[in-house]
Amino acid sequence: MKRVVLFVLTNLAILALLSLTLRLTGLDLLLLQSTGIHFTGILIFAAIFGMGGAFLSLAISKWMAKTSMGVEIIDQPANSTEHWLLQTVGRQAQRAGIGMPEVGIFESPDPNAFATGMNKNNALVAVSTGLLEQMNEDEVEAVLGHEISHIANGDMVTMTLIQGVLNTFVIALSRVIGMLVDRVILKNERGYGIGYWVTSIIAEIILGILATMIVMWFSRYREFRADEGGARLAGRQKMIAALQRLQQAYEPEALPGQLAAFGINGGLGEGFKALFRSHPPLEERIAALRQLR
């Protein structure tokens, strides 16, 4: 909660500073006179929808994960594997200083796992049936440590906040660009013309792509942190062995939406596609672990 409050206050300060800068430089008056744009009002509107949408997504992330992935929560272990999963997650959660997450299994032939949840003490860790079938206990332990580290590091909240801030600026700037084209270039003086709608939609798409690239870059950075955490909780060699096992597997089925950023494997991608990868290449992650002291 402290992380959320500090980040929200920081970003409110950024919005206030931007609005004040425009006012002191006279740019807000220039925009108002030439286009009728009330930039401060647009920023407030964009913040409500940009940040609000991101936090709503986080708030329902566990429900969405359970529904979309068909995750079966382990309430009472039905076999030795489920019992071992609960014990291992409980032990790692205690070492990481977080509350016991819900633990679940979802049907998928691909080796994968993910963590999600609104806060560190009310999270979900889920593993695929393919992961349990294709990895030994040491490797699964490392994967669980990786996911527990995502939770302990507050990655779900941090990624949501970054996405919310970027959403705010994408919404605000796309509408400013649309109004500038509509009223300055096309000389429309009544309401919102076709130039505004077409330009703002195109601008939002382009800015949205750039925002996604920023979010994915940060996601890749957080994966190295989660690997380090997995190495501390389970052992470096176990973490390396788990990543090497993933190298031997075929390209996994993509996890839906924001869950991809918190899976153990983000799939493949080269060239321009690499900018949209949620995870670094496995060989880079293994190399980084081997350099750990």
Q: Give the residue numbers annotated as catalytic, written as ranges.
A: 147
Q: Which two tokens stand for residue 209?
A: 């792509």
Instruction: Classify residue 255 as left (phi > 0), alpha (psi -120 to 50) or beta.
Output: beta
Q: What is the DSSP string of 243-289?
A: HHHHHHSPPPPPPPGGGGGGBS------GGGGGG-SS--HHHHHHHH
Q: Which two tokens stand for residue 171?
A: 């919404």
- Quote the CA–CA distance of 101 and 166 in Å, as a whole number: 29
Phi, psi of 277 (to 5 degrees): -75, 135
Closest CA to 278 of 267, 270, 286: 267
